[in-house]
Structure 1
Amino acid sequence: MSQTAHTTAATGKREILKVQDLAVSYGHIEAVKGISLSLNEGEITALVGANGAGKSTALLAISGLVKAARGQVLFNGKDLIQLSPHRIVEGGVAQVAEGRATLTTLTIAENLALGAYTRKDKAEIAKDLAWVYSLFPVLKQRADGLAGNLSGGEQQMLAIGRALMTRPKVLLLDEPSMGLAPLIIQEIFRIVQEINKTGMTILLVEQNVRQALRIAQRGYVLETGKIVLEDTGANLLGNPKVVEAYLGG
């Protein structure tokens, strides 16, 4: 069976992205120590753990923004590990960076237009823009305003919207709840679920373990650069080790 047609026996769902033995080093320090994980098409997969566990580094390596020391990142059977970041985006894998990274001196509309810079399908771009505005009405209301004038939660919405304008098959979300008020966090997670309902595959990296595992079909727990637990989101929420380490149990 080819890798593009590979399905996982447990769920019958197609595996769209597979990370094998991924390692990343900063100098002599190995931040990610040979991790392996897989994403099933149309599912939310959570990669959770404490600050400094290596979650963001793993995501940066998947999207080509940091160089892996070894390993493979197979997207529909094709290894992304040697591709430049813009080629990975063009291929269908987009990342929403930690800290949002909106272009504050540009308008909201200009930020969103930049998300579609590799695309030529104007009618489809217009459809996707309408969809983004339906997900985030505040962005439509303030489309001509500067991104720098948005609140933290609104900037997170803009960052997600800009990534969606690339029309990804896999969306990588790096700490989308970081620094946000509880009500805004609830709204961001609700919207992540709405995006997933369209069939989009999502890899969610989060310190907010409870929220992430609540909405994820599968989850992985990362500690000091190694995956130490792997299960369904529901099972991990009930796992005594997860409860003790991350959920105040």
Structure 2
Amino acid sequence: MSPILSIQNLSVSYGHIRAVKNIQLELNAGEITALVGANGAGKSTSLLAVSGLIKANAGKILFDGEDLTTLSPHQIVQKGVVQVAEGRAILTTLTVQENLDLGAYTRKDKAQISKDLDYIFHLFPVLKNRASGLAGNLSGGEQQMLAIGRALMAKPKVLLLDEPSMGLAPLMVQEIFRVLKEINQTGLTILLVEQNVRQALKIAQSGYVLENGEIVLQDSGQNLLNNPRVIEAYLGA
């Protein structure tokens, strides 16, 4: 089975600093792939390159056979690759409903948009209850739910998630990861960037470990959870 998205020899630099060094990564359709590692390893940079928000110095990012590195960020979204940014980046002065409506701005299929909105409210009942309220009045966890919901309203084929558990209380972290599993079970392909290595690898079918801009390990999520190197470095043996 050929991957739905393939990162090939990707390198990204900030000035003279090489943040990502010739990484190779593949996403299989319908799977969760986790990209894990310590802060500063190059995880978010890799994701931003896929989204087109940072330009690669070298390499290709192939999505359904097309090289995304030649496209602008809005073209990449239109192709079906949608990112939930680190820090959520919701529009706090708009209502919850308005944020969700903006997620569907590239779409014209009004009947399906309405069905998708119902699905978001099924996933996150709190958003339905707070739909007319300002997004800025939501808790951190609720804002993360809104950010995920807004991305889903774009009808992605691949969902990119950048540190969705960051800054959240433990119970909310559990809820976010439960929802990601539920979303994945609908067939949506997910690339999950996380510092919470244990939680990410628990729900991922496959995983990559990034250290100092380089992929150092690649395996199934379960095997990485049991890998002594991962345990020692990230899981507190």
TM-score, with length taken from structure 1:
0.95
TM superposition shift of 1:82: 1.3
Alignment of 1:1-249 (within 5 A): 7=1, 14-249=2-237
Q: Find the aligned partners of 2:5 and 2:137 in 1 and give their Cα distance.
A: 36
Aligned residues: 237
Q: Which amino acid aligns with 1:246?
A: Y
Q: Find the aligned partners of 1:62 and 1:71 in 2 and give their Cα distance.
A: 11
Q: Find the aligned partners of 1:79 and 1:131 in 2 and give their Cα distance.
A: 31
Q: Which amino acid aligns with 2:64?
A: N
Q: Find the aligned partners of 1:52 and 1:240 in 2 and give their Cα distance.
A: 22
Q: Find the aligned partners of 1:176 and 1:72 in 2 and give their Cα distance.
A: 26
3-state SS of paired residue (1:15)? coil
Q: Find the aligned partners of 1:38 and 1:32 in 2 and give their Cα distance.
A: 16
3-state SS of paired residue (1:202)? strand
3-state SS of paired residue (2:230)? helix
TM superposition shift of 1:15: 1.2
CA RMSD between the two structures = 0.5
Q: Find the aligned partners of 2:93 and 2:52 in 1 and give their Cα distance.
A: 26
CA distances 1:158-181 after superposition (whole Å, capped 9, x unpaired): 000000000000000000000000
Q: Which amino acid aligns with 1:25?
A: S
Q: Find the aligned partners of 2:131 and 2:33 in 1 and give their Cα distance.
A: 31
TM superposition shift of 1:223: 0.2
Q: Find the aligned partners of 1:143 and 1:243 in 2 and give their Cα distance.
A: 42
CA distances 1:168-214 after superposition (whole Å, capped 9, x unpaired): 00000000000000000000000000000000000000000000000
Q: Which amino acid aligns with 2:216?
A: V
Q: Find the aligned partners of 1:82 and 1:161 in 2 and give their Cα distance.
A: 28
- Identical-residue share of aligned pairs (%): 75
Runs (4+) of structure 1 exceeding 3 A deviation are none
CA distances 1:6-54 after superposition (whole Å, capped 9, x unpaired): x1xxxxxx41000001111000001001101000000000000000000
CA distances 1:143-166 after superposition (whole Å, capped 9, x unpaired): 000000000000000000000000
CA distances 1:91-117 after superposition (whole Å, capped 9, x unpaired): 000000000000000000000000000
3-state SS of paired residue (1:66)? coil
Q: Which amino acid aligns with 2:125?
A: P
3-state SS of paired residue (2:54)? coil
Q: Find the aligned partners of 2:79 and 2:116 in 1 and give their Cα distance.
A: 17
Unaligned runs of 5+ in 2: none
3-state SS of paired residue (2:132)? coil
